[in-house]
Amino acid sequence: MIVGSLAAGFLTNSIPLNGRSAPSKYRTLRELGRAKGVSIGAATSAAQLYEDRSFADVLLSECDRIVPEWEMKWSAIYSVQGRVDLGGMDKICSFAKEKGLRVRGHPLIWHARLPVHIQAEIDAGRAKVLLKNHVSFVMSRYQDVIDSWDVVNEAILPSDGNSNGFRSSPWFSALGPSYIHNAFELAREFAPNARLVYNDYNVEYDGVKADAVLSLLKSLTSARIPIDAVGLQSHLWATRRRIEREKFIRFCGSIRDLGLEILVTELDVRENQFEYSTEHRDRVVSKVVEEYLKALLSVAVPKELCFWGLSDRYSWLSKPQYNPENPRGYVNRGLILDEKLARKEVWATVFSLLDKIK
């Protein structure tokens, strides 16, 4: 149901409000987030920012932060042995500086997308040098625009069978858990004023993983390793899985009790009902995000709320290789704007939940 008059009153385009949101003095998530102390962000790419003007304009109205979906990964930077390619990151950070946006540094140290020649160097015993060189070089280069860094991404995977649930990543295999301590200590040295984040996924659904992440966080904080926040990637599932609400709330409370901030870093919804009507699909996505955000907001207000894309136009979940639920490559409608950049029901849900923050 489109509430025309209400929508016209304070939204730039009409969206199904279903009477859940009274008019607000704020017109965009960016304005509302700023008023509530929540920085609104979206993953994007240099191509989207420079080659899709309509998209970039809407992003500037809804977000005050951007995240490189690809350009800061080791596969992008070190794609050719002996060469360092930060052209994509430079373009993204130039755009951000010109437009007054903040940037998330994602990711610094990750197990995935390591070029073969980098893997060979790690295997040859140069992991510690590689890690230090990368952290120092990249953080120094962008310290004037990147204020929040995923220093270590996805270090926990209990199914790998290591003690304390560590993932058998190349870094872990070469250096043991100390690579995590090392990365955060170097990060504080080279970006002393930035928010240093441990980032991971599925803690909303998997209590075993959440417990292992919490164990890592307790070990880092008790060892006085410089860490400021935990990034909940929050790649949610439309119907295939349901968040373990009470466990998730306790998990967030434990993070808060460690004195760490909680960020939402990659929020989107993985659909699996592409044969249903758009209205039904959008309602399901909205309800999933509503349940998740209500659970989180019952414990903490995230200083950063980032979506893994702003518009369905560029969702990674529309690519069958990333979304086994979507073998035919339908547009996955798991983000706040549709592929035509129109606000969806989930936009109104996020807006009304943030608007209620005191």
Binding site for ligand G3I (CB under 6 A): 45, 69-70, 73, 113, 201, 233, 266, 316
The single residue listed with the structure tokens 């304005």 is 31
Nearest approach, Cβ of residue 357 and ligand G3I (Å): 26
Half-sphere exposure of 301 (CA within 13 A, CB side): 15
- If DSSP codes are grouped into helix, strand and coil, which group holds residue 294? helix
Q: Which residue lies nearer to ligand G3I by CB, 121 or 266?
A: 266
Which residue in the shown chain puts its C-beta closest to ligand G3I? 316
Radius of gyration of the chain (CA): 20
**3/157 with CB nearer ligand G3I:** 157
CB atoms within 10 A of CB 130: 19
Of 165, 294, 150, the closest CA to residue 218 belongs to 165
Instruction: Tell the smallest beta-carbon distance from residue 266 to ligand G3I (Å).
Output: 5
Shortest Å, Cβ 198 to ligand G3I: 13
For residue 23, the minimal CB distance to ligand G3I (Å) is: 35
Q: List C-alpha distances in Å: 129 to 77, 125, 137, 184, 307.
A: 17, 9, 12, 15, 33
63 by DSSP, 3-state: which?
coil
β-strands 65-68, 261-270 pairing: unpaired
Helix axes 245-257, 207-222, angle to 10 degrees: 0
Residue 14: CB minimum distance to ligand G3I, A: 30
- Minimum distance from CB of 202 to ligand G3I (Å)? 10
Q: Which is nearer to ligand G3I, 69 or 211 (CB)?
A: 69
User: Which CB atom, from 28 or from 234, has the smaller least distance to ligand G3I?
Assistant: 234
CB of 326 to ligand G3I, least distance (A): 14
Nearer to ligand G3I, 45 or 311 (CB): 45
Q: Nearer to ligand G3I by C-beta: 73 or 344?
A: 73
In this structure, are strands 39-44 and 304-307 parallel, antiparallel, or unpaired? parallel
| Selection from 346, 324, 276, 305 nearest residue 63 by Cα | 305
Instruction: Decide whether 7 or 336 has the Cβ nearer to ligand G3I.
Output: 336
Which positions ≥6 away from 15 have C-beta within 8 Å? 2, 7, 342, 343, 344, 345, 347, 348
Between the CA of residue 263 and those of 41, 95, 201, 209, 266, what are the distances in Å? 11, 23, 12, 18, 9
**Which residue's CB is nearer to ligand G3I, number 152 or number 346?**
152
Q: How far is the CB of 113 from ligand G3I (least distance, A)?
A: 5
